[in-house]
Amino acid sequence: MTINSAQKTRRLIGLTLALCVVTGAQVARAEVEWVSFTMDNDTFVGNDNGYTNGIYVSWFDTPEGKPADIGFLAQAMKWSLPDSGSSGIGFDIKTIGQTMITPDDIEEDPPILPPDDLPYGGLLFYADTFVQIHQTVADSISVTIGVVGEPSLAEDTQKFVHDVISSDEPCCWDEQLDDEVVFQVSRGRVWKTWASDSGNSDFLLSADLALGTISSQVGAGFMYRYGKQLRNSFATALLVNSRTANPVSSQTGWYLFAGARASYLGNQIFLDGSKSYDDDFDEIDYQEDRVSVTAGLAYSWKEWSFTFAMNDLNIDEDDDSAEEYSEYGTFTLAWKLD
């Protein structure tokens, strides 16, 4: 039986609703102690194109004195974690997020399409992440499922925001990537290789691997931090590459951070296009070998925490369209529940 586009869209919307129900059930079961709101936007770096916007809400399960339970989806990657032993602690993070990209000129009709510019595209996803922490080493596992295309609701979000701020209305979301269910699994590790005697600075090394239709990549990097109360927050550096959160200080204190990462990007759905996209879609000629940089500030006071960072996913990108996707700023506000 042939499934037409309307039937396919209805099924994906149904899947999206089911995803929200599952997320709500998982959050209800967890001992949620922290909630964070993260916004990525290219206006932080003076643009309003390319990587246009990303909004993420995360729930942190950080029980004291015992490891958090690994979430339902993240269980699929549990085998890759080392034996935690009696000294290990951990926290669980559940994230709902939406990411969107657009061409440079959102008023041009018909739009300039790849490979000359980025496509219209949106991703709505749920990510289940678990971080396991030891004295100088921390590990992370994560499983993400989501949808691209109309069920991502990216068109509605952008039009609503642009209407509120009286900005230009995008003309051509009917040219967005086709509807598709997507996924990603990832594994990461960070090592605290050096810390000053005063405890006010440290140096971290990290390695990570991700596979899936959202993106596939392998990378390694470093981060230097300077501030106060660094001892128990080094594991949050595992989150800086996920674009779902960034390092937060979970106790009273602050730190400045700067880092770099070398990676190889095998595929990326916004740059390669969804599998069901039009046959005449020409992939953007992006660089697979990449060097990314990040720098920012994390600050916390009692039950509140915020982080701001500037990011460039590839400082040596040759393709203008891919370069627009790479540069953005990110802001996270987190608060502890009573």
- What tokens were used for 154? 């990216």
DSSP state of 303: T
> Percentage of the chain with pLDDT > 90?
40
Q: How far apart are CA 309 and CA 327, in angstroms?
A: 11
- Tell whether the model's pLDDT for residue 277 goes beyond 50: no
**If you average pLDDT over residues 209-234, what whole number do you get?**
93
**Residue 174, phi then psi, degrees to nearest 5:** -70, -10
Return the residue matching tokens 């005697």: 197
Q: Write down the domain spans for the chain.
A: 5-336
Return the residue matching tokens 């070398």: 262
Looking at per-residue pLDDT, the higher value among 250 and 157 belongs to: 157
β-strand partners of 224: 203, 258
DSSP SS3 for 11: helix
Return the beta strands (E) in 149-288 as ranges: 180-195, 201-212, 215-228, 253-268
Q: Find, among 103, 101, 100, 99, the residue nearest to 115 by Cα.
A: 103
Contacts of 111 (CB under 8 A, 6+ apart): 103, 105, 117, 120, 171, 172, 175
- Tell whether the model's pLDDT for residue 98 goes beyond 60: yes
Looking at per-residue pLDDT, the higher value among 151 and 12 belongs to: 151
- Tell whether the model's pLDDT for residue 2 goes beyond 50: no
Looking at per-residue pLDDT, the higher value among 252 and 97 belongs to: 97
State residue 53's pLDDT score: 77
- Tell whether the model's pLDDT for residue 182 goes beyond 90: yes
- Tell whether the model's pLDDT for residue 299 goes beyond 70: yes
pLDDT bracket for residue 210 (50, 70, 90)? very high
pLDDT bracket for residue 237 (50, 70, 90)? confident
**If you average pLDDT over residues 299-313, what whole number do you get?**
88
Out of 64-68, 97-101, 107-111, 220-224, which region has the weakest mean confidence (pLDDT)?
Answer: 64-68
**If you average pLDDT over residues 4-17, what whole number do you get?**
52
Contacts of 45 (CB under 8 A, 6+ apart): 310, 327, 328, 329
pLDDT bracket for residue 200 (50, 70, 90)? very high
> Percentage of the chain with pLDDT > 70?
75
Q: Candidates 3.30.200.20, 3.40.50.80, 2.40.128.140, 3.40.50.1820; correct CATH number of 5-336?
A: 2.40.128.140
Contacts of 261 (CB under 8 A, 6+ apart): 206, 219, 220, 221, 222, 241, 291, 292, 293
**pLDDT for 29-86, tens place per residue?**
456 688 999 988 776 655 555 556 789 999 988 776 666 789 999 999 999 998 755 4
Q: How far apart are CA 244 and CA 256, in angstroms?
A: 20
- Tell whether the model's pLDDT for residue 325 goes beyond 80: no
Compute the mean pLDDT over every residue in the chain, rounded to the nearest whole number: 81
**If you average pLDDT over residues 295-310, what whole number do you get?**
90
Q: Is 51:321 a contact under the CB 8 Å cutoff? A: no
